Each structure stands twice: as C-alpha cells, then as structure tokens.
Chain A
Amino acid sequence: MSHSRRLILGAVAALLACTAFTALPAEAAKTELRVGAASADVGNLDPHFSSSTSDRTIVAWVYGALVRFAPGSTDPSTIEGDLAESWEATDNNLVWTFKLRKGVQWQHGYGEVTADDVVFSLQKSADAKRSAYASDYSAFKTVEAVDPSTVRITLSNQVPSMLGLLTNYAGGFIICRKAYEERGEGFTRNPVGFGPFQLESTEPGVAINFKAHDGYFRGKPKIEKIIYRFLNAAAGRDLAFASGEVDVVAGTIDQRWLQRMKATPGAIVDIFDPAELSVLHLNRNQKPFDNIKVRQAIAYAVDPAQIAQFRGAEFTRVSKSVIPSNNLGLNPEPGLLPHDPAKAKALLAEAGFPDGITIKMISSQLPSYAQTDQILQAQLAKSGIKLDLQPVEHATWHQMIRKDLSPIVDYSAARFPVANTYLTQFYYSKSAIGQPGQVTNFSHCDVADKQIEAARTETDPKKQVELWQEAQKLIVADFCAVPLTETAQAWARTDKLEWGFDLKGSLSLGPLVTEQAHFKD
C-alpha cells in the first residue's frame, strides 16, 4: 500500500470516527416522557375539584403548595417547605405565619407567586361554592397577606395536622389568581400553577401534553415534555407499554398483570401507598337503606376476603375499619361483621323482604370498579340481594353519585392520613350530598358528628385518638358504610426511567413527576 493511499484511508477513518462522535448526542437520554393513563379523558383540572385518580395525578405535576410531602412519600413526618420557605405557629397553634420564597414564577408568564395568590387560593379552598374540600378548611378564620411574601392563617380552633391541609394535595394546591379570574370556567381545562410542568395542549379523549416549566424554582425539569395518553382499556395500555409506545403505565390491580409485568424485560413495577380504602356507602335517606336491618344484611352478605384474594396479596388486604389503616386514629377493632349469608337472609326477612330485594347501583366502567362490583353482585346474590348494576363511564359516574342517584355507592379513596380528614369527608353530616358543603358523604351518615367535632378541637392527643376510634365504632354499628378492602397503587415503567427518588408513596395516586425525573443514557 502506497503512502498516499494510507493517508487517504487514514483520513477516511478519521472522518468516520468524527462522524461517530458527532452522532453521539442522538443517543443521549431522551427527554420526552409518555404516560399511559387508565382514563378516557380529562375531567376537572381545578385542583380544588379534581377527584378522579387520573386528574389528581396530573394536577400534582402542575401545581405546588405551601408545603409538600417529600417526593415518594405520604408520611406526614416528611412534610417540607414548597412555596413556604419557613413557618411558625403560636403556642396554642391558632395563628400560623408562612414566609414565602421569593422569585417563584407562575407558568405561562403570569409573573411571580405572591401572598395574595396564596390568600386567594386558601379562601377558595374553604369556599364550598368553589371547592369540593371546603369542609376541611372550616376552622380557617382568616387568611391574610401580611406583606407580599408573608401569609398569616388564623384558626377558630385547633385542627389535627394543620400542615396536612396545606400540602400538595386537594385543597392545599395554590392556584394563580390572575389566571383563574381571566380564564373563568376555562380554568378547569387550562390550569396555571407553579409546579414543574405546564399544560401545553389538550386533545380530548386522546392526550394532554405538558412541557417543562422553565422557570420552576427548583430548577428546569430534566424531562422536557410529557405526553399523557388516555388509554382506558387495560390491554391497550399494556400493549402500548410492551411495544415501547409509552414509558410508564397505570397498572391493573390483578395478580396476572403483576406476574406478566415482572416477567417483561426492562419493566419495573412500582407498588406504592396510599392504599385506597374501598367502602360500600349505603344511603340512609333512601329506601331500602333507611332500614338498618337491610344495611346490616349487606354487611353480612359481602365477603371482603374473597375480593382481596381475587386482587392478590401484593396489592390488596381486607380493610380493618371505615377509615384507611394507615390513618392516625385508626380503630383496628371497630366491630366489623363476619361474612354470613344466612344471617343476611334472615335480616332481610325481618326487614320485610323474605323473597329478597333488588337494589339499583350506578357502577363505574373503570376496570377496577367494574370487577369489584361484579364480584359484589355475585356475593350479594347468595343472600337474595339482586344488585342491578348500571355501568357508566367513570367521569359520569363521579357526577352521578354526587347527585344521590345511586342508593349504594362503591367508592375507593385515600386521604391525608389523619382520621379527621376521612371521617369528615365521608361520615360528617355537613359533608353529605346535597348539603352546601357536600363532599363525599354518600350515606348521609351523621351518627358520629359529635365525636368528629370534638376530636378536631381536642388538645390531648390521646383523647383525640379515642374520639376518632369511638366515631368509627358508631359508624360501623350504624352500617351506613361497609368497608371492603384496601388496595395500593401500581404502575409499570421502563427501567430507563428514574423518578429521582424512591417511590414509596404518592397522595396524588399516581407517580409524582418532578424536576428530578429523567431517562438514563
């Protein structure tokens, strides 16, 4: 080989090497996150109204709060500052002062977050006309801006875990006042927060697209874009994940799904808290549940252990009480009835229904609900109770049960893990459907009002817990609610995706995507 020829070959090799190196950025970690959601469409993105799992998941990416749970945790002891840089309370815990971080920016160029926005948001959260969680904030006497970066909250009485009400969850989210007033009704589909991701566009029934909030105060998110795809069919979601169309998917609470995902190369399954408590709420104001014997018959007829077995021990356990078992104030032995179809039949006969009874139930078509409701249907049938299921789309179901259209409601939920929240929202008379401060008291339960109210202002923690436990005992004895199971959240993701923290819990019921989330190279 001649010298010149060697030179040419060397030059070509060098050129190829350069080309190879210049090609490297194309193989760098991707920055677009594609999520497969178990939902047909977006519901309400006003965080003070968001109630479906899918909506709650999204709003936690868009909004922030005064304080937040450490990412990946639902433990109240991990609560840390979010918008609030620091805070202090008077000795009697009735006046709380929060110092805000300076320079925190709203999305979409709405400027800096001010104390005025915080005051507006918390007042909105406490207003039953503008919030679904108003009853949680009933002790808020005044919320005022001391100066542009200081907020003072004065309570009429002490509340259990005050910081819990101000976390990145439900009524605690802070919204942009200017955007809310400008956008009016449109705000529910076009939100503005100061969280790490801002809404870019919505394709109804197809996807919502988010982009990184460049001005996010903790730093620009490593993920630049999130495509949140509505893949309501479980098989469709799994296929999309298997083919690499999506990077993370909402799971199906089913043992077979778990086994299949665990066997899928490159897949990681996150099973995390909070476990949602599934409860049958029996409307005491409607026939036939105005008769306590019928309610008691239902409590005997259901078999939660069978439902837990169907779902699988990895996700689901039999519930212990009418509030989730991770709640401070749980009564582990409130007097739940054992499964006994014969006693259920006898009670029905005593109640005047010797030939059985037919009950209408509006049922969500979300697979997890649809499955549970069909199992319940078969269980109740053994006691002569015919459950006339009327399946509707999940968002419609949410609307219909909030109009008292279903005398029996199967509802799964997790709340801030202090008994007061769950008891207030589900069993306090002022939270009953149709009341000005309606939340999710579908049964119109009022038997534990005294205890729930007393516990809120009780300063002795031991006595407070005793009051909560007594409240659970009374609710169980009245059979206005029949607890079934508790089921954790399950999502699958590609092993190339890192959340940036250990995902053990997320009160938004979906993975929290923060500025830390990224793909490995």
Chain B
Amino acid sequence: MTDALSPTAERAASSKSAWAVLHRLNMTTWFGVAIVAALILAAILAPLLATHDPDAQNIIMYLSPPGPDNILGTDQFGRDIFSRLLFGARYSLTIGFLAIVVALIIGSLIGMVAGYAGGRTDIILMQIMDVVLAFPSLILGLALVALMGATLTNIVIAIAFTAIPAFARIARAGVMTQRDREYVQACHAMGFSNPRILFRHILPSILPEIMVMASLWMATAVRTEASLAFIGLGLAPPTPTWGGMVREGFDNILSSFHLALFPSLAILLLVLALNLIGDGLRDAIDPRLKDAS
C-alpha cells in the first residue's frame, strides 16, 4: 500500500535499480571491480598465500632485492615484503570500508534530517558540517589520531569524521529535491510519520547517489589511512600497513627502492580501482553526467 503511493519514487527506483545499474556499467568499471575483488580475496586468503610470516625478521637477509626466496624482496629487518603486502591489504581495506560505512550512516542521517526539517535545524546542522568541511581531511584526521591515539578504531573514527560532511551534503540535497514531490505529499496526507516518510520513501530515491559518493570516498579513506601511516600516525609496528611500509621504505629509498615501490603500487592500484568503480557507478546512475563529460 505504501509503495503504491509513490510512483515517482518507483520510477526513480526502477531506473536506478541494481540490475539496471549493473547493466549500464562499462568495461573500465568492471576492471575496477575485478581489482578490488582480487585484493579482497588476497586479504582474506593472506594466511594461505603468504610465503613467510609477515612479522618474522631475518636480519641476515635484510634489504634483499626481489628473488626466488622473497618474490618482492625483504625490508630493512629482513621481513618478506610480499607477505606484508597481503596482510597489509586487510588493514587498508578494513579501515577504508569501515570508515566509509560509519561516515555514510552518520553523514546521511544528518543530511536527511537537515534537508527534511529545513529552517533552523538545517542551518545549524549544515553550518557544523561546513566547519568540519573547512579542514583538509588529512589535517583533521591527523589531529584526531594524534589526540586519540593510533589504534584501528580511532583511525576508523578519525577518517569517518572527515568524510561525514560529504555524505551529509549529498543526502541533504537529495532530500530537498524529493520532499516536495507528490508522493511525499501523499504520504503526509496518509498520516505517515516523518521517520517513515524519510527512511522508507525518500531514502531509496537518494541511495544511489550516496553509494556513488561512498565508492569515491572509500578511495579517499584508503589514501588518508596511508598518509597517516606515512607520517607516523598509523598502526603501531610491526603491523604491516601499506602506508607504514612506504614510510619505512622511504629511509632506504636510495639503496633499495623496492621497499617503498611495492606498497606504493598497491595503494595506487586500490585507489585507482575504487575511483573507476565510483566513476562507473556515477555514469550508470546518472547518464547525463556521462554525456556532459
């Protein structure tokens, strides 16, 4: 009964249905999906794929170039770079994913409430978001991690905090375009509660845009995590994070550039893949943007 009252939402939903969107994805997007899927698989199967214990030091073999024993060489403590990359993928993906899920939920909620309520609530909430947005995400993340300590949870919170305004803004914009539509007015006429209208009727219409934003921001989250680790605010040693590996490799870059090269390439690959997915989703959901570009 409720769905029948929102034909516009229905049409929007159908044009942006998961199946339709998947159908419209181009090859480069699928390439991105394949890379991310491969990295997720590598992270899950890290204990099986790793050739060495990622934390095991072998000082005799330190700074070895890539070879048969260590396919990507060893770091300054003789640890196997390939194995550390595999385990490092777990942290990069986990932090990137969790941070964006947290930011998506909180940011979307704030944006939807602001957009739906309007007036003073909207002004206050969005001005708070503007204040947060005024700080460069890396600087804000850096300050929060320095304040709270560099644990997995705190890094997720810090990165999520920097991403919340982006989700709030897009959710608010989406709600504002929907709130005066006929199906919403019909919902009001039927006496539906505001939360019901907001979450059961408006949210499905704006969700695709939010998901596109999430995929693009996940790339940012991965970069922020790597940047924090590079400047020494990542997870404590010997945890193998990609940013931390680049940082440690940087001290030996003049004699053994492979230490920093491979984790840098891994970050590049993941960020590129996430951006490809984000761009592809955006094009598929809103073809006008694709045509415009």
A260 to B251, CA, bound (A): 13
Q: Is the CB of B59 within 8 A of A371?
A: no
A306 to B236, CA, bound (A): 22
Q: What is the CB-to-nearest-CB distance from A80 to chain B, in angstroms, rounded to a whole number?
A: 40
Query: Which residues in window 242-290 of B have CB below 8 A to A?
Result: 250-256
Chain B residues lying within 8 Å of A371, measured Cβ to Cβ, are: 76-77
Partner of B251 from A235, A306, A374, A390 at Cβ < 8 Å: A235
A301 to B293, CA, bound (A): 63
Which one of A260, A310, A371, A393 has the highest number of Cβ atoms from chain B below 10 Å of its Cβ? Answer: A310
A365 to B244, CA, bound (A): 12
Q: Is the CB of B254 within 8 A of A374?
A: no
B contacts with A, residue count (CB < 8 A): 20
Nearest-neighbor residue (CB-CB) of B250 within chain A: A235
Residue A377 CB within 8 A of the other chain: yes
Contacts A389-B236, A391-B236; is A375 near B251 (CB within 8 Å)? Answer: no
A313 to B269, CA, bound (A): 41
Q: Is the CB of B238 within 8 A of A378?
A: yes
Q: Is the CB of A233 within 8 A of B250?
A: yes
Contacts A371-B76, A375-B57; is A260 near B232 (CB within 8 Å)? Answer: no
**Majority SS of interface residues in chain B?**
loop
Q: Is the CB of A378 within 8 A of B55?
A: yes
Partner of A391 from B55, B237, B251 at Cβ < 8 Å: B237
Query: Which residues in window 216-250 of B have CB below 8 A to A?
Result: 232, 236-238, 250
A238 to B250, CA, bound (A): 11
A contacts with B, residue count (CB < 8 A): 27
Q: What is the CB-to-nearest-CB distance from B262 to chain A, in angstroms, rounded to a whole number?
A: 17
Partner of A393 from B57, B232, B253, B255 at Cβ < 8 Å: B232
Partner of A256 from B63, B77, B250 at Cβ < 8 Å: B63
Contacts A377-B238, A391-B236; is A235 near B253 (CB within 8 Å)? Answer: yes
How does the 8 Å CB contact mask read for A227-254 relative to B, with 1 for contact and 0 for none? 0000001110011001000000000100
Residue A76 CB within 8 A of the other chain: no
How does the 8 Å CB contact mask read for A367-379 relative to B, with 1 for contact and 0 for none? 1001101110110
Residue A309 CB within 8 A of the other chain: yes
A388 to B236, CA, bound (A): 8
Contacts A375-B77, A378-B238; is A252 near B232 (CB within 8 Å)? Answer: no
Partner of A378 from B57, B63, B76, B236 at Cβ < 8 Å: B57
How does the 8 Å CB contact mask read for B135-177 relative to A, with 1 for contact and 0 for none? 0000000000000010000000000000000000000000000
Contacts A365-B232, A378-B77; is A310 near B251 (CB within 8 Å)? Answer: no
Q: Is the CB of B236 within 8 A of A390?
A: yes
Q: Is the CB of A234 within 8 A of B77?
A: no
Nearest-neighbor residue (CB-CB) of B59 within chain A: A310
Query: Which residues in window 105-125 of B have CB below 8 A to A?
Result: none
Q: What is the CB-to-nearest-CB distance from A366 to chain B, in angstroms, rounded to a whole number?
A: 11
Q: Is the CB of B59 within 8 A of A256?
A: no
Nearest-neighbor residue (CB-CB) of A242 within chain B: B254
Q: What is the CB-to-nearest-CB distance from A486 to chain B, in angstroms, rounded to a whole number?
A: 18
Q: Is the CB of A256 within 8 A of B252?
A: yes
Residue B30 CB within 8 A of the other chain: no
Nearest-neighbor residue (CB-CB) of B233 within chain A: A391
Q: What is the CB-to-nearest-CB distance from A313 to chain B, in angstroms, rounded to a whole number?
A: 14
Nearest-neighbor residue (CB-CB) of B248 within chain A: A370
Query: Which residues in window 16-72 of B have CB below 8 A to A?
Result: 55-57, 59, 62-63
Q: What is the CB-to-nearest-CB distance from A17 to chain B, in angstroms, rounded to a whole number?
A: 44
Partner of A306 from B56, B59, B63, B76 at Cβ < 8 Å: B59
Q: What is the CB-to-nearest-CB distance from A376 to chain B, in angstroms, rounded to a whole number?
A: 11
Chain B residues lying within 8 Å of A260, measured Cβ to Cβ, are: 254-255
Chain B residues lying within 8 Å of A367, measured Cβ to Cβ, are: 251
Nearest-neighbor residue (CB-CB) of A235 within chain B: B253
Q: What is the CB-to-nearest-CB distance from B111 to chain A, in angstroms, rounded to a whole number?
A: 37
Contacts A310-B59, A391-B232; is A374 near B237 (CB within 8 Å)? Answer: yes
A309 to B59, CA, bound (A): 8
A378 to B255, CA, bound (A): 24
Q: Is the CB of A374 within 8 A of B59?
A: no
Chain A residues lying within 8 Å of B76, measured Cβ to Cβ, are: 371
Chain A residues lying within 8 Å of B149, measured Cβ to Cβ, are: 390
Q: What is the CB-to-nearest-CB distance from B33 to chain A, in angstroms, rounded to a whole number?
A: 36
A470 to B238, CA, bound (A): 39
Chain A residues lying within 8 Å of B254, measured Cβ to Cβ, are: 235, 238-239, 242, 260
A375 to B236, CA, bound (A): 14
Chain B residues lying within 8 Å of A306, measured Cβ to Cβ, are: 59
Q: What is the CB-to-nearest-CB distance from B95 to chain A, in angstroms, rounded to a whole number?
A: 18
Q: What is the CB-to-nearest-CB distance from B233 to chain A, in angstroms, rounded to a whole number?
A: 9
Chain A residues lying within 8 Å of B256, measured Cβ to Cβ, are: 256
Q: Is the CB of B232 within 8 A of A235?
A: no
Chain B residues lying within 8 Å of A373, measured Cβ to Cβ, are: 237
A391 to B234, CA, bound (A): 10
Nearest-neighbor residue (CB-CB) of B257 within chain A: A235
How does the 8 Å CB contact mask read for A269-280 relative to B, with 1 for contact and 0 for none? 000000000000
Nearest-neighbor residue (CB-CB) of B247 within chain A: A233
Nearest-neighbor residue (CB-CB) of B76 within chain A: A371
A242 to B256, CA, bound (A): 16
Which one of A242, A306, A374 has the highest number of Cβ atoms from chain B below 10 Å of its Cβ? Answer: A374
Which one of A239, A309, A391 has the highest number of Cβ atoms from chain B below 10 Å of its Cβ? Answer: A391
Q: What is the CB-to-nearest-CB distance from A86 to chain B, in angstroms, rounded to a whole number?
A: 49
Contacts A375-B57, A378-B55; is A235 near B252 (CB within 8 Å)? Answer: yes
A242 to B250, CA, bound (A): 16
A310 to B61, CA, bound (A): 10
Chain A residues lying within 8 Å of B232, measured Cβ to Cβ, are: 365, 391, 393
Q: What is the CB-to-nearest-CB distance from B290 to chain A, in angstroms, rounded to a whole number?
A: 43
Q: Is the CB of B251 within 8 A of A234?
A: yes
How does the 8 Å CB contact mask read for A427-459 relative to B, with 1 for contact and 0 for none? 000000000000000000000000000000000
Q: What is the CB-to-nearest-CB distance from B180 to chain A, in angstroms, rounded to a whole number?
A: 53
A375 to B79, CA, bound (A): 11
Which one of B62, B149, B256 has the highest number of Cβ atoms from chain A below 10 Å of its Cβ? Answer: B62
A377 to B79, CA, bound (A): 13
Nearest-neighbor residue (CB-CB) of A361 within chain B: B236
A235 to B254, CA, bound (A): 7
A242 to B77, CA, bound (A): 25
Q: What is the CB-to-nearest-CB distance from A335 to chain B, in angstroms, rounded to a whole number?
A: 27
A256 to B59, CA, bound (A): 13
A309 to B236, CA, bound (A): 25
Chain B residues lying within 8 Å of A381, measured Cβ to Cβ, are: 55
A284 to B63, CA, bound (A): 38
A373 to B238, CA, bound (A): 10
A390 to B150, CA, bound (A): 8
A238 to B255, CA, bound (A): 11
17 contacts between A and B (CB under 8 A): A234-B251, A235-B251, A235-B252, A235-B254, A239-B254, A256-B63, A256-B255, A306-B59, A309-B59, A310-B59, A374-B238, A377-B238, A378-B56, A378-B57, A378-B77, A378-B238, A390-B149
6 closest A-B pairs by beta carbon, nearest first, are A378-B57, A234-B251, A235-B253, A310-B59, A389-B236, A256-B255
Given contacts A260-B254, A367-B251, A371-B77, 11 further A-B contacts (CB under 8 A): A242-B254, A252-B251, A256-B252, A256-B255, A256-B256, A309-B59, A310-B59, A370-B237, A378-B55, A378-B238, A391-B232
